[in-house]
């Protein structure tokens, strides 16, 4: 057994909370155990008085992933149910093969196991009785809820109420007439999540409302006075979402929702008013049972499980995996998907507009947005700062995604238009995401590209910017397998003509690998792709690689800097150089 964990919200496997067990298969016996596991779960659930738990056991290569739905007040007990069911399934297989001791143990231990599970469940649910009653009443009234180890909340933002678990009132005493939900937009996908999240936030801000934002850089509340930071760091999981939804100043929420949080804990809330999947790209394979792009698309589609009635899931019609996902969804719910595309005549977009009135396309270099069946011109892409005057096609995609998601969520067209023409003009609007900086006579392009597709679009943008020479700083976290590292290096070398590639070690992100292992694989892949050996060099950290790149630069050069492990330090260095009026060849500011 590798992992056994609670899922406190909607997840890949179900709309219901539950528990998931991961088991590494070592022998053929596990296949039969996998088939027996759901039967054992049903027996144990019957002993607890639970519904069957809708057990779902799947094999993904060497990994078995087993899920059962469970009541909110029994999620810890459910993890024990999953584990015990697996032990009993393996013993059952042995008993079928003639192991008398295994058969005897199954028979004799059953009453003890049932009693232990009932005792555990009684102890777990005792402090959660009031919280679960409040959640049930909120659900009945059509309001969202959030529950974690410390608090329970109903409603959201300015209309939400929250209590510590030991101080939850009886449901009848809650002032339900004050409880409601603010508009909530979920943003997921492989690339462009943070940019799209920030742009949707800017669109809401243009209406004058107070907006809560959680993303890979932190949790923030924006109002007409300024920005309040609630947390710093990667908050794309349920913890960041709950911080936003529980803030009583928030009038609209935009939540970046990453794959990892959905797979580890499920979604943070039970209701959303729009969701967008930007695109699907090969990344994170081999984790949590995700083995293919189709798997990844279905994981991302978890966001659709909590959409309120008549809400829409916004999908990229130019992405083949999302087209397949959307087609499957539309077979059950024909009006469920709103499409965007860089093709003005894309049939999926046009059909969606006919069905429900919403869609977004690029037509003759202009972003066109359909609302309630009426097309409006949002302006020329050349005049939208985010697109770098049209040089960044992937940010055209992000602008389409954000515009359509915001529109579906209720942002007026005038606010969408205003944000498109202002967002990105200030360096702080989209820090670290395709941020072009000019340091004297050197151009620097800072981005977060972290997978092959992201690297390809970054390379295409780099080639569109005039430069005497180009340098790329390249690295990756250690939790990608060798095949993904090779694909990243190949995409980098194929997408642009780089005069130098500086490989960076990231000690903070080794994630199980030995130092030097990632850069070794990247170097070999670059050489295999045709990069000359004297073009490639290695540096012990991201900051060291960036400083070396700046020292290498000459007037007219372009430095392409995907930053991950030391974003804040790199940004501080670039700010210091900009403040001192640095030019190529001059000493670098110490930090």
Looking at residue 147, what is its pLDDT? Answer: 95
- Between the alpha carbon of residue 400 and those of residues 86, 355, 419, the distances in Å are 46, 19, 12
Distance (Å, rounded) from C-alpha 321 to C-alpha 190?
12
CA dihedral sign, ordered 397, 400, 406, 408:
negative
Domain ranges of the chain: 3-127, 129-178, 184-420, 435-580
Distance (Å, rounded) from C-alpha 388 to C-alpha 579?
23
Distance (Å, rounded) from C-alpha 23 to C-alpha 549?
45
List phi, psi (to 5°) of 115. -65, -40
Closest CA relative to residue 141, chosen from 95, 106, 181: 181
CB 57 within 8 Å of CB 37: yes
Tokens of 155: 């409603």
Place of tokens 């939208």: 384
List phi, psi (to 5°) of 26. -115, -20
95-99: list long-range contacts, CB under 8 Å, 24+ apart. 96/32
Closest CA relative to residue 314, chosen from 187, 412, 425: 187
Residue 131, burial from CB neighbour count under 10 angstroms (0-12, 13-18, 19+): buried
- Between the alpha carbon of residue 242 and those of residues 8, 11, 144, 238, the distances in Å are 12, 16, 11, 6
Which element (helix H / strand E) includes 445?
strand 442-447
Distance (Å, rounded) from C-alpha 499 to C-alpha 560?
11
Looking at residue 291, what is its pLDDT? Answer: 77
CB 68 within 8 Å of CB 55: yes
Sheet containing strand 442-447, edge to edge, reads 435-439, 442-447, 558-562, 470-474, 500-504, 536-539
Looking at residue 194, what is its pLDDT? Answer: 93
3-state secondary structure of 239: helix
CATH number of this structure's domain 435-580, picked from the four choices 3.40.50.12500, 3.30.930.10, 3.90.190.20, 3.40.50.2300: 3.90.190.20
CB 257 within 8 Å of CB 169: no
Task: Count CB atoms within 10 A of the CB of residue 359.
Answer: 29
CB 184 within 8 Å of CB 273: yes
List phi, psi (to 5°) of 175. -80, 75
Sheet containing strand 274-277, edge to edge, reads 227-232, 218-222, 211-215, 252-256, 184-188, 274-277, 313-316, 337-341, 359-363, 366-371, 374-380
Looking at residue 345, what is its pLDDT? Answer: 95
State the chain's maximal CA–CA distance in angstroms.
81
Q: Where do the H-state alpha helices sit in 206-253?
A: 238-245
Looking at residue 28, what is its pLDDT? Answer: 59
- For 184-420, CATH number? 3.40.1190.10
Which residues are within 8 A (CB) of 261 and not within 5 positions of it... i.e. 6 or more apart? Answer: 236, 237, 238, 268
CB 184 within 8 Å of CB 306: no
CB 185 within 8 Å of CB 405: yes
CB 577 within 8 Å of CB 437: no
| Three-class DSSP labels, 286-335 | CECCECCHHHHHHHHHHHHHHECCCCCEEEECCCHHHHHHHHHHHHHCCC
Looking at residue 238, what is its pLDDT? Answer: 95
List phi, psi (to 5°) of 403. -60, -45
Query: Any idea what DSSP says for residue 251?
Result: S
pTM: 0.85
Looking at residue 566, what is its pLDDT? Answer: 85
Looking at residue 391, what is its pLDDT? Answer: 78
**What single string gives the DSSP state of each residue in 159-186?**
G-EEEEGGGPPPGGGS-GGG-----EEE
Distance (Å, rounded) from C-alpha 77 to C-alpha 496?
53
Looking at residue 285, what is its pLDDT? Answer: 64
Assess whether the region 184-420 and the region 435-580 belong to the same CATH fold: no
Which residues are within 8 A (CB) of 123 and not within 5 positions of it... i.e. 6 or more apart? Answer: none
Low-confidence ranges of the chain (pLDDT < 70): 26-30, 282-286, 288, 427, 432, 591
Looking at residue 399, what is its pLDDT? Answer: 96
CA dihedral sign, ordered 91, 96, 98, 101:
positive
């Amino acid at each position: 057994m590798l992992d056994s964990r609670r899922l406190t919200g909607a997840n890949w496997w179900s709309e219901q909370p539950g528990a998931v067990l991961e088991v590494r298969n070592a022998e053929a016996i596990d296949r039969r155990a996998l088939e027996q596991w759901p039967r054992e779960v049903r027996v144990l659930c019957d002993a607890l008085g639970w519904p069957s738990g809708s057990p779902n056991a799947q094999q993904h290569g060497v990994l078995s992933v087993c899920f059962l739905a469970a009541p909110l007040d029994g999620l810890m007990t459910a993890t024990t149910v999953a584990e015990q069911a697996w032990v009993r399934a393996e013993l059952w297989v042995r008993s079928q093969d003639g192991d008398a001791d295994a058969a005897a143990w199954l028979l004799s231990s059953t009453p003890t196991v049932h009693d232990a599970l009932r005792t555990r469940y009684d102890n777990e649910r005792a402090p959660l009785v009031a919280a679960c009653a409040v959640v049930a009443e909120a659900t009945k009234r059509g309001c969202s809820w959030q529950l974690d180890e410390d608090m329970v909340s109903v409603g959201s933002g300015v209309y939400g109420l929250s209590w510590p678990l030991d101080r939850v009132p009886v449901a009848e005493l809650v002032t339900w007439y004050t409880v409601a939900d603010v508009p909530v937009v979920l943003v997921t996908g492989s690339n462009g999540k943070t940019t799209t999240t920030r742009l949707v936030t800017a669109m809401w801000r243009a209406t004058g409302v107070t907006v809560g934002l959680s993303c890979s850089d932190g949790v923030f509340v924006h109002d007409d006075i300024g920005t309040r930071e609630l947390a710093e760091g990667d908050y794309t999981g349920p913890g960041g979402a709950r911080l936003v939804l529980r803030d009583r100043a928030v009038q609209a929420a935009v939540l970046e929702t990453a794959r990892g949080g959905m797979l580890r804990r499920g979604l943070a809330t039970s209701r959303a008013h729009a969701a967008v999947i930007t695109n699907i790209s090969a990344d994170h394979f081999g984790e949590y049972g995700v083995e293919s792009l189709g798997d990844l698309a279905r994981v991302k589609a978890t966001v659709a499980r909590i959409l309120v009635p008549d809400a829409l899931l916004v999908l990229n019609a130019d992405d083949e995996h999302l087209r397949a996902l959307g087609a499957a969804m539309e077979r059950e719910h024909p009006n469920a998907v709103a499409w965007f595309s860089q093709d003005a005549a894309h049939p999926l977009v046009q059909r969606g507009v006919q069905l429900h009135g919403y869609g977004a396309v690029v037509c003759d270099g202009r972003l066109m947005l359909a609302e309630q069946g009426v097309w409006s011109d949002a302006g020329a892409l050349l005049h939208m700062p985010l697109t770098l005057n049209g040089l960044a096609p992937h940010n055209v995609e992000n602008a389409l995604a954000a515009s359509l998601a915001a529109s579906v969520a209720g942002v007026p067209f005038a606010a969408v238009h205003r944000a498109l023409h202002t967002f990105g003009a200030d360096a702080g609007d989209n820090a670290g995401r395709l941020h072009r900086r000019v340091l004297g006579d050197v151009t620097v392009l800072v981005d977060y590209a972290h997978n092959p597709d992201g690297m390809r679009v970054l390379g295409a943008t780099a080639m569109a910017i005039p430069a005497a020479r180009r340098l790329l700083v390249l690295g990756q976290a250690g939790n990608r397998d060798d095949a993904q590292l090779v694909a990243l290096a190949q995409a980098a070398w194929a997408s642009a003509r780089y005069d130098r590639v500086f490989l960076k070690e990231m000690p903070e992100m080794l994630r199980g690998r030995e130092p030097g292992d990632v850069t070794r694989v990247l170097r070999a892949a670059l050489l295999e792709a045709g990069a000359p050996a004297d073009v490639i060099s290695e540096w012990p950290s991201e900051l060291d690689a960036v400083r070396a790149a700046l020292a290498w630069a000459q007037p007219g050069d372009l430095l392409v800097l995907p930053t991950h492990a030391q974003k804040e330090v790199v940004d501080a260095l670039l700010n210091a150089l900009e403040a001192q009026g640095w030019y190529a060849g001059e000493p670098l500011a110490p930090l």
